Structure 1
Amino acid sequence: MSNHHSHKEDKHHEQTDHHDGHHDHDSHGHDHDHGDHHAHMVEDFKRRFYINLVVTIPILILSPMIQEFFNFQVNFTGDRMILFLLSTFVFFYGGWPFLKGALDEFKDRNPGMMTLIALAIVVAYGYSSLAIFGLSEKNFFWELATLIDIMLLGHWIEMKSIMGASRALEELVKMMPSEAHLIDENGETKEVPVSELVKGDKVLIKPGEKVPVDGVIQKGQTSIDESMLTGESVPVEKKKDDPVIAGSINGEGSLTVKVEKTGEESYLSQVVDMVKEAQDSKSKTQDLSNRAAKWLFYTALLAGLITIVTWLAIGYEFSYALERMVTVMVIACPHALGLAAPLVVARSTALSAKRGLLIRNRASFEGARNLDAIVFDKTGTLTEGKFGVTDIIIENDMKEDEVLELIASLESQSEHPIASGIVAEAKKRNIKIQEPDQFEYMTGKGLIGKVNGKDIAGVSPGYVKEKNISFNEMEFNRMSEEGKTVIFVLIENELAAMIALADQVRESAERAIKKLEDMNVRSIMLTGDNQKVAHWVAKQLNLDEVYAEVLPHEKADKINEIKKKSLKVAMTGDGVNDAPALANADLGIAVGAGTDVAMETADVILVKSNPEDVVSIIELSKATYKKMIQNLWWATGYNIVALPLAAGILYPVGIVLSPAVGAVLMSLSTVVVAINAKLFKG
């Protein structure tokens, strides 16, 4: 059963010409185990939060402001020094992740949440320490401790809800076999690590094994499954002088392959590089709460500066002006902001998981509400990724089911996807499949054998033409034009039927495209499969645009091309060939039944492999964003009121916001934010 689209062969001849990148393959072998690292960070925040919480209790009890507020007194010799030491511990131990994060944000010249928190805790700690040593009466140690506690809690909740940073690069490297069968000068084979192979070596690839290197076939004939790498749904027939790609899977024949490219030059390594680059550029995008924090940081600096300058200009002492400035800068970092986004994220992540969506990159998920176009991979996303029978054209006087019984019985001996499609059709019709009396595989031509004493063959168009068997060419051309794969059934050497098979379009895909159309989102197909198949599927689904015969490294380029049209674009895919494009898109969506690589590269994973879930992502993103904006307003609304009061804007009429009242307002906004997040239903 051969591959009947001859230009597919040509495409694969060209396929190994594009890899000139250099890159040390082994360097990815341990490309930091992101998953473990992430889990470690979650544990770290959790531990810091609990330890800090315990230390915060005595800080609150010893704080003069809290004593005054709740009308009690705890005084003993050295109480202020103990308060200072406990607060120093909280500042350095609990505040360390924020101080370190602020440093990273400064290096990127992109202040965000970490910088805002760091500013507030540094100012509070610095001023309060001076206060302990006699600069003024007031200290902000309780503010410092509670702010750090709440921020640690917020970060812990958020990181726990989005567990698992990307391990795509490791998954890619895992696809490469680690050993190969090297053929030495005497023609004997020995096992060697793939890393020791050099250009010009010859390796043996046995049936069913993964191809260890990019190379050219010297001897043998087989069909190779390249779907993981190229998206081509039909295994590709390969013979002498054809190229093979590392990571693809050999079919039923043994091959001797001459090594062309190893390790860092191989095709898969190019994909690793592309994914790495795309991920690096993507990780710089900031999510909503970080953008809000950025503006609050600038506001805090400006407000603090204006406050101290104004009070000094009016003629107040430096210590009083400084106290006002510190109050303003500490209040500028609202406790509620630390929980505003994480609580909504945790809720939204839980709601998503119930709907079968796993969110891995929050900034990209938040951006999904603005998507203009969704690019779908074809095989396994819009289609089932499995062959199904679409037409049976009978050429003699037998019934469909009789022909199907004989050919399915023969095909039941083969692992080929086309054979599986024919067997599945027979089972669907409750046709009994029998054990063939004889069975033989003709490489590149099909199968022959005996069923019920009759000679049966399932063969390619090439075989039929070679034997000069006449057939209905009009029907054959029609089916081929639709990109279907046609096999010919011969019974007793006479043509009995033509059976056409194609990758089955998912019903859910039709509904998803319709819904996207209603939302004014364009649907585009991007596939490595050939033009005919692609256009046949596109016509059935009524897609806006189709890009076919796109090689994996070109997929990422196509995404960039679409982005250049000022469109915000999501990519949905399931194969290794989709990984660079998933990483490059504004939102990468992996279909759950796909490869680990695609899933590790994506921002969102669809657990149920249902294209309709793409619509859910957009809807949920819009709802999450709306709720987050509400929460940020509640969190920063407190600032809008408290900042001017703390700065002393109403001082002329005798009103100055005391830190204690500021604390009550702050607690209120935190409670409102928590309740509002809890009410989020998606």
Structure 2
Amino acid sequence: MAAHDKSAHSHAHHAHQPSTSVHHDHKHHDHKEHHAPSHPAHHKHGPHDHHAHHAHMVEDFRRRFWISLVLTVPILVLSPMIQAFLGLGEALRFPGDLWVLWALSSVVFFYGGWPFLKGIAEELRQRNPGMMTLIAIAISVAYLYSSAVVFGLAGKIFFWELATLIDVMLLGHWIEMRSVLGASRALEELARLMPTEAHRVMPDGSIQDVPLDQLQAGDRVLVRPGEKIPADGVIVEGHTTVNEALLTGESAPVEKKVGDTVIGGAINGEGSLVVEVQKTGAESYLSQVIELVRQAQETKSRTQDLANRAARWLTVVALGGGALTLAVWTLVMGQPFDFALERMVTVMVIACPHALGLAVPLVVAVSTALSAQNGLLIRDRTAFENARNLQAVIFDKTGTLTEGRFGVTDTLVFQDGLSEEELLTLAAAVEQHSEHPIARGIVEAVAHPPAAEDFEAIPGKGARARVNGEEVRVVSPGYLREHGLEVQDERVDRLAEQGKTVVFVVRDGRVAGAIALADVIRPESKEAVRQLKAMGLQVMMLTGDNRRVAAWVAREIGLDDYFAEVLPDQKAAKVREVQQRGLRVAMVGDGINDAPALAQADVGIAIGAGTDVAIETADIVLVRNDPRDVVSILRLSRATYRKMVQNLWWAAGYNIVAIPLAAGVLYKLGLLLGPAVGAMLMSASTVIVAVNARFLSVE
């Protein structure tokens, strides 16, 4: 973790280009190679250590600020300029007062200004002058010049301006770092989801409380009502509901029974469970999510490159502008050196690119943590930022837009006196003894099918049984043809044209009705498509199903286009075909047979991954099987970019007005900014940037 710590903790000395306070400045990760964490200790200690270290730095700036502020009071009282301004004359003067003033100011300069003096050394060593360089030069010039006056040079003493400037800078850093801490805290909150201990069930049935790091795959653990599940595993005893909201973003509690998988960190509901551990440490879902968030936060944003370049130019402008201001006021305007020096210091302070360096990394930190909390896992930061420019979304059909299981879509009744519910109930009574997918679909449509007797399968054609004393058969169209029971009904023909599977219910030798089944369209699909189209995107579908089924699904949910009868190895070519229309394309699939298409797309989105976050070819992994999460990730991408742009304007835009004011262009109108006021403006822009990033949301 050495590289990580070095960059993450450079804020300790505040000796960095400001962009590294949250953002770790290294080359862009290819997350397709970083699909799983390899160091469990990294997850166990990394976020906590970073958080604790950052909290220590907040405390350090707070302490330096208060001590410097207390010392500033006598500095103000002893400063000749302040005494003259208040009309006190010689009332507060005493022998050696200037030496006391110098001593107090020296303490503020070296103690309060230490983070900035340390920072300039680091920035110059890295040949990357930035905010620390500007502040250090400003306070050093003020201190050295004022000290020279105390030691006999003719001029004015600037100690009061030096002290107030350092106070404001320390206060600004303290407030800003608290905001940064809030932005990065989400990662630690994820790590905190795990309990500290587990109730391991021993071979003799006794319960032993053990630390999590002692759990191994195959162990069984007891999870009592209301407790956190200690590891990823499968339920071997018990029935309950589980709250996975903080892990997957799924707000409603999820019902769990024997055989179902559970995620470590989820909160058990009302039932007691025995869980067999499957994954621990770095292999667990939560550890992988934390690693993905950390990698995404560290990945260099393209927008950050722009911000860094702007910050470097602003540093050059500040240094050059300060020197030019000094020269113009002394050589051209003929003003005293101390007046020109004050203008120079103000220009350098007000142009500090600190807010510019934080503008993008803070938004990155907030957006990646926010996405993880909502089950939207970003594996490739660049792809996520590019998602805002997408023009088309292609969905895989089976398991993505549909549920991948047969369900009843239509019921047709041919006999008088028989309702659709009664027809379905008769069919379900027969089919409850069958394991066929069509039979399962019919049975699931009826809450409590009645008992059936004398069940018998009709190989390849259906099944028969006695229900309430009547013989009932559920059979295929082929069976009807063989037995001369043809049905002439255009409704049946229309259902067949839609690619639906139609079965017939025969009661006592007469065809009582027909039931149509199809792959069930997810209720959320239609809403997802509607919202994507409202965002200006074209929505398409890829499927290996026949053209009739594809046309029906496309019509039902309002797709713009579809590709049917596409073999898995042809999907990538279809994505390429859409790209050749000049469209930037996202592919949404389950990440298994859709891998080539996910890789071909401009943005690959794996949906319904559950606990499998290590999907090789996806740029973004959506934990839930909800197409509306595609809308959420696109909205978050757009909102993140908007926040970045807003922050860049806040960070740099105010300089357009502030630098000329600091240089004294409105001096003749009586408007003049002092260094402390300049520091307040600069600090205010930094705090605004930090607070604005915190208002980012998925909605």
TM-score (norm 1): 0.56
Q: Where does residue 120 of structure 1 map in the other structure?
A: 131
Q: Please give the residue correspondences for 1:259-658 in structure 2 after superposition, counting only pairs within 5 Å.
A: 286=301, 291-305=306-320, 307-308=322-323, 331-334=350-353, 336-337=355-356, 370-392=389-411, 399=418, 403-414=423-434, 417-427=437-447, 432-437=448-453, 464=479, 479-487=495-503, 498-506=514-522, 509-514=525-530, 516-550=532-566, 558-559=574-575, 562-563=578-579, 565-573=581-589, 576-577=592-593, 595-597=610-612, 603=620, 609=626, 611=628, 629-646=645-662, 658=674
Residue identity in the other structure for 2:180: H
Deviations 1:629-670 (A, max 9, x none): 455434323222233455677799998854222113224445
Counterparts of 1:318 and 1:563 in 2: how far apart (Å)?
A: 64
Q: Where does residue 29 of structure 2 map in the other structure?
A: none
Shift of 1:484: 1.9
Counterparts of 2:325 and 2:362 in 1: how far apart (Å)?
A: 38
Q: What is the DSSP-based 3-state SS (H/G/I as helix, E as strand, rest coil) of the residue aligned with 1:426?
A: coil
Counterparts of 1:159 and 1:554 in 2: how far apart (Å)?
A: 43
Residue identity in the other structure for 1:120: M
Q: What is the DSSP-based 3-state SS (H/G/I as helix, E as strand, rest coil) of the residue aligned with 1:609?
A: coil
Shift of 1:54: 3.3
Shift of 1:300: 2.5
Q: Please give the residue correspondences for 1:165-176 in structure 2 after superposition, counting only pairs within 5 Å.
A: none
Q: Where does residue 159 of structure 1 map in the other structure?
A: 184
Pair 1:660-2:671 in alignment: no
Q: What is the DSSP-based 3-state SS (H/G/I as helix, E as strand, rest coil) of the residue aligned with 1:637?
A: helix
Shift of 1:433: 1.0
Residue identity in the other structure for 1:47: A
Aligned residues: 526
Counterparts of 1:42 and 1:364 in 2: how far apart (Å)?
A: 27
Q: Are the equivalent residues in 1 in contact too, given 2:175–2:687 (CA < 8 A)?
A: no
Q: Where does residue 286 of structure 2 map in the other structure?
A: none
Identity of aligned residues (%): 39
Counterparts of 1:588 and 1:321 in 2: how far apart (Å)?
A: 58
Shift of 1:522: 1.4
Q: Are the equivalent residues in 1 in contact too, given 2:321–2:348 (CA < 8 A)?
A: no
Residue identity in the other structure for 2:316: L
Residue identity in the other structure for 1:378: K
Residue identity in the other structure for 2:439: A
Residue identity in the other structure for 1:500: A
Q: Are the equivalent residues in 1 in contact too, given 2:453–2:465 (CA < 8 A)?
A: yes
Q: Are the equivalent residues in 2 in contact too, given 1:39–1:163 (CA < 8 A)?
A: yes
Q: Are the equivalent residues in 2 in contact too, given 1:481–1:532 (CA < 8 A)?
A: yes
Shift of 1:614: 5.7
Counterparts of 1:564 and 1:306 in 2: how far apart (Å)?
A: 50
Shift of 1:78: 8.9
Counterparts of 2:588 and 2:459 in 1: how far apart (Å)?
A: 35
Counterparts of 1:517 and 1:155 in 2: how far apart (Å)?
A: 36
Q: Are the equivalent residues in 1 in contact too, given 2:393–2:537 (CA < 8 A)?
A: yes
Shift of 1:435: 3.5
Q: What is the DSSP-based 3-state SS (H/G/I as helix, E as strand, rest coil) of the residue aligned with 2:301?
A: coil
Counterparts of 1:348 and 1:530 in 2: how far apart (Å)?
A: 40
Deviations 1:593-616 (A, max 9, x none): 6633479867585979364x7667
Q: What is the DSSP-based 3-state SS (H/G/I as helix, E as strand, rest coil) of the residue aligned with 2:559?
A: coil
Shift of 1:501: 0.6
- When residues 336 and 159 of structure 1 are mapped into structure 2, their CA distance, relative to the original with a 3 A threshold, is same
Q: Please give the residue correspondences for 1:180-329 in structure 2 after superposition, counting only pairs within 5 Å.
A: 286=301, 291-305=306-320, 307-308=322-323
Q: Are the equivalent residues in 1 in contact too, given 2:541–2:559 (CA < 8 A)?
A: yes
Counterparts of 2:387 and 2:612 in 1: how far apart (Å)?
A: 22
- When residues 444 and 662 of structure 1 are mapped into structure 2, their CA distance, relative to the original with a 3 A threshold, is farther
Q: Where does residue 257 of structure 2 map in the other structure?
A: none
Counterparts of 2:596 and 2:172 in 1: how far apart (Å)?
A: 40
Deviations 1:494-541 (A, max 9, x none): 977653211233565445544554554312223454443222111223
Which of 84, 107, 117 is the equivalent residue of 2:110?
84
The structure whose Rg is larger is 2
Q: Please give the residue correspondences for 1:45-56 in structure 2 after superposition, counting only pairs within 5 Å.
A: 46-56=54-64
Q: What is the DSSP-based 3-state SS (H/G/I as helix, E as strand, rest coil) of the residue aligned with 2:449?
A: coil
- When residues 450 and 283 of structure 1 are mapped into structure 2, their CA distance, relative to the original with a 3 A threshold, is farther
- When residues 467 and 334 of structure 1 are mapped into structure 2, their CA distance, relative to the original with a 3 A threshold, is same
Residue identity in the other structure for 2:440: S
Counterparts of 2:568 and 2:167 in 1: how far apart (Å)?
A: 56
- When residues 497 and 540 of structure 1 are mapped into structure 2, their CA distance, relative to the original with a 3 A threshold, is same
Counterparts of 2:377 and 2:494 in 1: how far apart (Å)?
A: 44
Residue identity in the other structure for 1:660: A
Q: What is the DSSP-based 3-state SS (H/G/I as helix, E as strand, rest coil) of the residue aligned with 1:596?
A: coil
Counterparts of 1:26 and 1:358 in 2: how far apart (Å)?
A: 19
Counterparts of 1:321 and 1:565 in 2: how far apart (Å)?
A: 61
TM-score (norm 2): 0.55
- When residues 484 and 675 of structure 1 are mapped into structure 2, their CA distance, relative to the original with a 3 A threshold, is same
Q: What is the DSSP-based 3-state SS (H/G/I as helix, E as strand, rest coil) of the residue aligned with 1:389?
A: strand
Point out where structure 2 has 5 or more consecutive residues left out of the alignment: 1-31, 84-96, 149-157, 192-216, 218-233, 235-290
Residue identity in the other structure for 2:656: I
Counterparts of 1:305 and 1:564 in 2: how far apart (Å)?
A: 49
Q: Are the equivalent residues in 1 in contact too, given 2:391–2:538 (CA < 8 A)?
A: yes
Deviations 1:361-394 (A, max 9, x none): 8876766654422333434554455432234467
Q: Are the equivalent residues in 2 in contact too, given 1:374–1:570 (CA < 8 A)?
A: yes
- When residues 423 and 671 of structure 1 are mapped into structure 2, their CA distance, relative to the original with a 3 A threshold, is same
- When residues 124 and 656 of structure 1 are mapped into structure 2, their CA distance, relative to the original with a 3 A threshold, is same
Point out where structure 1 has 5 or more consecutive residues left out of the alignment: 1-24, 107-114, 167-192, 194-209, 211-275
Q: Are the equivalent residues in 2 in contact too, given 1:300–1:328 (CA < 8 A)?
A: no
Q: What is the DSSP-based 3-state SS (H/G/I as helix, E as strand, rest coil) of the residue aligned with 1:524?
A: strand
Counterparts of 1:558 and 1:155 in 2: how far apart (Å)?
A: 44
Counterparts of 1:580 and 1:323 in 2: how far apart (Å)?
A: 63
Counterparts of 2:506 and 2:132 in 1: how far apart (Å)?
A: 82
CA RMSD of aligned residues (A): 6.3
Counterparts of 2:695 and 2:109 in 1: how far apart (Å)?
A: 38
Residue identity in the other structure for 2:69: I
- When residues 281 and 625 of structure 1 are mapped into structure 2, their CA distance, relative to the original with a 3 A threshold, is closer
- When residues 511 and 153 of structure 1 are mapped into structure 2, their CA distance, relative to the original with a 3 A threshold, is same
Q: What is the DSSP-based 3-state SS (H/G/I as helix, E as strand, rest coil) of the residue aligned with 2:555?
A: helix
- When residues 394 and 664 of structure 1 are mapped into structure 2, their CA distance, relative to the original with a 3 A threshold, is closer
